[in-house]
Amino acid sequence: MNNTSEAACAPSLADTGRDIAPAADSVANLREAILRRLTYSVGKNQASASEYDWYLAVVYATRDRIVEGWMASTNAAYVHGPKRVYYLSLEFLIGRLLGDALNNLGLTETMRAATRELGVDLERLRTLEPDAALGNGGLGRLAACFMESMATLSIAAHGYGIRYDHGLFRQVLKDGWQQEYPEDWLALGNPWEFKRPEVCYRIGFGGAVEALTSPDGATRYAWKPAEYVEAIAYDTPVVGWRGAHVNTLRLWSARACDPLQLDVFNAGDYVGAVADKMRAEAISKVLYPSDETPAGQELRLRQEYFFASASLQDALRRHLKQYQEVRSLAEHVAIQLNDTHPAISVAELMRLLVDVHGIAWEEAWKITQGTISYTNHTLLPEALESWPVPLLERMLPRQMQIIYLINALHLDSVRKSGHTDARLIAAVSMIDEHAGRRVRMGHLAFIGSHKVNGVSALHSKLLKQTVFRDLGTLYPDRIVNKTNGITFRRWLFEANPGLTRLLADTAGEGIYDDPMALRKIAPYASDAAFVGEFAAVKRQNKVALAKIILDRCHVKVDPDVLFDVQIKRVHEYKRQLLNILETVALYDAIRAQPYLDWVPRVKIFAGKAAASYHHAKLIIKLANDVANVINNDPTVRGMLKVAYLPNYNVSLAESIIPASDLSEQISTAGMEASGTGNMKLALNGALTIGTLDGANVEIKQHVGDENIFIFGMTAEQVAQRRGRGIDMRETIARSPALREVLDAIGSGVFSPDDPGRYAGLVDILTHHDHFLVCEDFDAYYACQREVAAKWLDRAAWWKASILNTAGMGWFSSDRTIAEYADEIWKTQAQKKE
Ligand SMILES: *Cc1c(COP(=O)(O)O)cnc(C)c1O
């Protein structure tokens, strides 16, 4: 990766011209602190320091300003004893931390001045930090936003996950094809983390279960694993807004108990001697790069159990240290499972309570259910996790016994309550008997939790009607909704300092602490002076993005055209294809009637496809093929361009979002659980074009029906349409524009080097259109013309844009976390330390 070109175009740090929180630190203090760190921690002097050495010194100096608050927060949790929250997530999509830490400490401007005096540029240093990409997409990013909000709200929380040596792959586009390269964020070390080799747990795998009869005649079970792996803790402090509270993100790294087998080594088998070590350490080697599909591999289950067990052992150890007994766990601890990846926690907590701590089953079950709650992230049947019973029996024999017993007791109580219908019993059983016996991890998480939540109002409603229809009827109070949110510190204050300054100048400094205060800019939505400044900020951001597009895509775009943006994982249900088809239709229309008053626009795409998802990778290639043809066609005269930015990640999102005019949220209704990209874009003044799916429904309510473009089938209509079959020949026959587009793509107009490349893709759209791209095409095309009409009415456009920003306060993840704290965790903010 060419770091130099990335750095040149990076967005500037919170350039608010002043520090938001008055800094206790002076510029001189900070300058001296950086120099001390450069000397004593990096071991360099000013003359020999490289840019990266300066970056390290600046991070260390910043980190030093977090550590005291960290210890104070940690101490306060022991002294005041607030309920602790443990957020278990296999993914944390963090991005860079330097801007975040400085911004939350209120030290950005002071640091900028201090580095300037030392002759180094803070903006430049910031780009040297690799993104921590320990996640695939929305689910992992949500966990990162939640960590920041929990710290901001002074909730005594730990995040638990895996410290992957290699995060999500780096995407390179070669001739428009996605290629995956390993990502190496730890190559130069990680100055944010603290290794805690003394915090180490043994994690067992395999072996057998022994039944022991104790003197009182009761039977106890002891698991004798065949193999152990050690989990080592690495801690990263997470500082909340204004530096008031600091929590810990604790990530586990796998280590072999024995570094090598010396006898094997001495016999000359050097590779064999470290084979066990390699097998053990494979657990935290790499993030599974799949999104919305389960990984299904044995190593994945090892990852899930490894981090769940280490986290629970750690939580129990901390509880025992504080309260000297485990029976009060549910009173003092809330464990949130981010999707089913940590669902094995239900069985593991029961094992620890019953087998290790000697608690009777019934009491242990009350404690487990009282402690755990679970967030569901998807309704897609293919994404629901389940593991074969034989695999669990072999890898986790005691946990499998426990799952069987939980299930037996659960089904007993179902029958006792009068439900004897065989269909219902099969539907609510934790064991799926359809294709060999498998454990349904969603059912395990549901049954082991006191609350289960969906992530938008629509998704929670559909959860009750589909995946958990029967369980939801048996336990009617268990399913609740917690609509997702995003942290405004990263997605507004840091990503868009120009807009932030304007908002604070207009609505007052209150916006920094109360997102609902953004409403105060609504009265200025038609104020010419304010609109002028709002438009100027957007233009500046678009100029910066245009530079990035030129650099990375070699496409020259005019910052005054409409920036039409679709950035997210590439998946059929998100329907990048629908956007590409509309692009081609627009291209055809412009060429047919070049004299019309077309709205010039650039379609901007970014997103990765799972390495094994061939169809999604073909969609990326199609977008790039279409871009090639359109961008090089002189008859379009700049009315339309297409740019596919490679290697979408958090940092790239921070550059694209503040520069966006139109936000594409066009999933097949009923399939996007919430979306959070939709929130980031609307907050930054992009108008949404979208279906009534996920949180789009609630965004519409908050920004106003006139300020969002909604088209297409509702979730109900999608279900009905699928009921009539998904052959689209009649639909296509009714739409001349769609027919022309499909003919062009299918016959190789965009792939002259390989005319048959998209024949299969067009065939699927024609005969087996599960995502109903064709059915929504005409509505989408018409809606895009409404977008264009609004764009031409500049005052109307800016008014809608401003009302989007004004209306998005509710989507702060602080609001989401406050709801979890009140209704699920039953914890309150900690006393000020
Ligand atoms: C917010 C975000 C996502 C989620 O985007 P959706 O549009 O909600 O799918 C994915 N990846 C990154 C890098 C993000 O910042």
User: Are 308 and 88 spatial neighbours (Cβ–Cβ below 8 Å)?
Assistant: yes
Centre of ligand 1 to C-alpha 685, Å, is: 17
State the burial class of residue 152 (Cβ atoms within 10 Å of its Cβ: 0-12, 13-18, 19+): buried
Does the Cβ of 140 fall within 6 Å of ligand 1?
no
CA of 295 to the centre of ligand 1 (A): 20
Ligand 1 centroid vs 405 CA: distance in angstroms?
39
Reported as a single tens digit per residue, the pLDDT across 347-361 is 999 999 999 999 999
The reply to whether ligand 1 has any atom less than 6 angstroms from the CB of 649 is yes
Confidence band of 19 (pLDDT split at 50, 70, 90) = low
Cα 455 to middle of ligand 1, angstroms: 14
From 159-173, 254-268, 423-437, 727-741, the region with the lowest mean pLDDT = 254-268
Does residue 827 surpass a pLDDT of 70?
Answer: yes
Q: Is 694 in the pocket of ligand 1 (CB under 6 A)?
A: no
660 Cβ below 6 A of ligand 1: no
Examine the residue annotation and report whether 832 is marked as an active-site residue of this protein: no
Do residues 377 and 339 touch, judged by C-beta distance below 8 A?
yes
What pLDDT score does 601 carry?
Answer: 98
Average pLDDT over residues 793-808: 98
In ligand 1, the atom with minimum distance to the C-alpha of 138 is 4
Mutating to test ligand 1, I would choose from 91, 93, 459, 604 the residue with most ligand atoms within 8 A of its C-beta, which is: 93
Contacts of 578 by beta carbon, 8 Å cutoff, 6+ apart: 666, 773, 776, 777, 780
**Alpha-carbon span 153 to 83, nearest angstrom:** 13
Regarding the beta carbon of 608 and ligand 1, being less than 6 Å apart is answered no
User: What mean pLDDT is reported for the chain?
Assistant: 95
Catalytic residue among 569, 571, 608, 641: 569
Q: Report whether pLDDT(215) > 80.
A: yes
Nearest CA to 454 among 668, 667, 698, 674?
674
Cβ–ligand 1 contact at 568 (below 6 Å): yes
Q: What pLDDT, on the 0 to 100 scale, is given for residue 832?
A: 46
Q: 121 CA to middle of ligand 1, Å?
A: 29
CA angle 94, 100, 105 (to 5 degrees): 145
194-205/227-239 β-pairing: antiparallel
Give me the catalytic one of 277, 377, 459, 790: 377
- Which residue has the CA at smallest separation from atom 8 of ligand 1? 675
Is the CB of 677 inside a 6 Å radius of any atom of ligand 1? yes
Task: From the candidates 96, 464, 568, 702, give the one annotated as an active-site residue.
Answer: 568
pLDDT tens by residue, 135-164: 999 999 999 999 999 999 999 999 999 999
Q: Residue 680 CA: which ligand 1 atom is closest?
A: 1
Phi, psi of 695 (to 5 degrees): -80, -5
pLDDT in tens, 32-86: 999 999 999 999 999 999 999 999 999 999 999 999 999 999 999 999 999 999 9
Q: In the predicted model, what is the mean pLDDT of residues 665-673? A: 98
- For ligand 1, atom 5, name the residue with the nearest CA: 677
**Residue 250 corresponds to which amino acid?**
R
pLDDT attached to residue 381:
83
Phi-psi region of 548 (alpha: psi -120 to 50; beta: other; left: phi over 0): alpha
What is this structure's pTM? 0.96
| Ligand 1 atom with least separation from CA of 694 | 8
Asked if 608 is an active-site residue, the reply is no
Is there an atom of ligand 1 within 6 Å of 650 CB? yes
Distance 288 CA to ligand 1 centre (A): 17
- Which ligand 1 atom lies nearest to the CA of residue 574? 9
Q: Where does 88-137 have alpha helices with state H?
A: 98-105, 108-117, 122-126
- The residue nearest atom 10 of ligand 1, judged by CA position, is 137
pLDDT digits (tens, 9 = 90+) for 756-769: 999 999 999 999 99
pLDDT in the model for residue 23: 47
Please confirm, yes or no, whether 569 is among the known catalytic residues.
yes
- C-alpha 604 – ligand 1 centre gap (Å): 15
- pLDDT tens digits along 370-414: 999 999 999 988 889 999 999 999 999 999 999 999 999 999 999
CA-CA distances (angstroms) from residue 616 to 178, 311, 331, 473, 623? 10, 35, 46, 37, 11
* Sign of the four-CA dihedral 322, 326, 330, 336: positive
Span 795-808, average pLDDT:
98
Q: Which of 370, 379, 315, 291 is nearest to 719 (CA)?
A: 379
Does the domain formed by 488-810 have CATH 3.50.50.60? Answer: no
Which atom in ligand 1 lies closest to the alpha carbon of residue 674? 8
- At position 67, the amino acid (one-letter code) is V
So what's the pLDDT on residue 20? 47
Name the packing angle between helices 361-371 and 397-416 (round to 10°): 90
Q: Whose CA is nearest to atom 11 of ligand 1?
A: 137
Residue 676: active-site member: yes
Distance, CA 567 to ligand 1 centroid (Å)?
7
Q: Could you read off the pLDDT of 451-484 as tens digits, one per residue?
A: 999 999 999 999 999 999 999 999 999 999 999 9
Residue 493 pLDDT: 98
CA nearest ligand 1 atom 7, residue: 677
What pLDDT shows up at residue 1? Answer: 32
Task: Report whether residue 676 contacts ligand 1, using a CB cutoff of 6 Å.
Answer: yes
| pLDDT score, position 93 | 98
Tens-digit pLDDT profile for residues 112-135: 999 999 999 999 999 999 999 999
d(CA 411, CA 388): 20
Residue 169: pLDDT band by 50, 70, 90 thresholds? very high
Atom of ligand 1 nearest to the CA of 679: 8
Instruction: Please say if 621 is a catalytic residue.
Output: no
> Any idea where the domains of the chain sit in the sequence?
1-80+106-130, 81-95+131-482, 488-810
How many other CB atoms sit within 10 Å of the CB of residue 366?
14
Given a contact cutoff of 8 angstroms between Cβ atoms, the answer to whether 606 and 648 are in contact is yes
Confidence (pLDDT) at 830:
55
Is 10's pLDDT higher than 70?
no
Please check whether the two domains, 81-95+131-482 and 488-810, share a CATH topology.
yes
What's the full length of the chain, in residues? 833
Residue 568 annotated among the catalytic residues of the structure: yes
In this predicted structure, the answer to whether residue 16 has a pLDDT above a threshold of 80 is no
Output the pLDDT for position 719.
97
Residue 239 has pLDDT above 70, yes or no: yes
Selected catalytic residue, list 163, 341, 603, 680: 680
Residue 831 has pLDDT above 80, yes or no: no
Query: Does the pLDDT value for residue 204 go beyond 80?
Result: yes
The number of beta carbons lying within 10 Å of the beta carbon of residue 432 is: 17
CATH architecture designation of domain 81-95+131-482: 3-Layer(aba) Sandwich (3.40)
Contact 670/713 with Cβ under 8 angstroms? no
Cα(29) to centroid(ligand 1), Å = 38
Cβ-based neighbours of 707, under 8 Å, separated by 6 or more: 687, 799, 800, 803, 804, 807
Look at ligand 1, atom 3, and give the residue with the nearest C-alpha.
138
Q: What DSSP assignment string belongs to 763-821? A: HHHHH--TT-TTTTHHHHHHHHHHHHHHHHSHHHHHHHHHHHHHH-GGGBHHHHHHHHI
List Cβ neighbours of 142 (8 Å cut-off, separation of 6 or more).
Answer: 338, 455, 484, 676, 813
Give the whole-angstrom CA distance, residue 545 versus residue 47. Answer: 35
Is the per-residue pLDDT at 22 higher than 80?
Answer: no
Centre of ligand 1 to C-alpha 783, Å, is 24
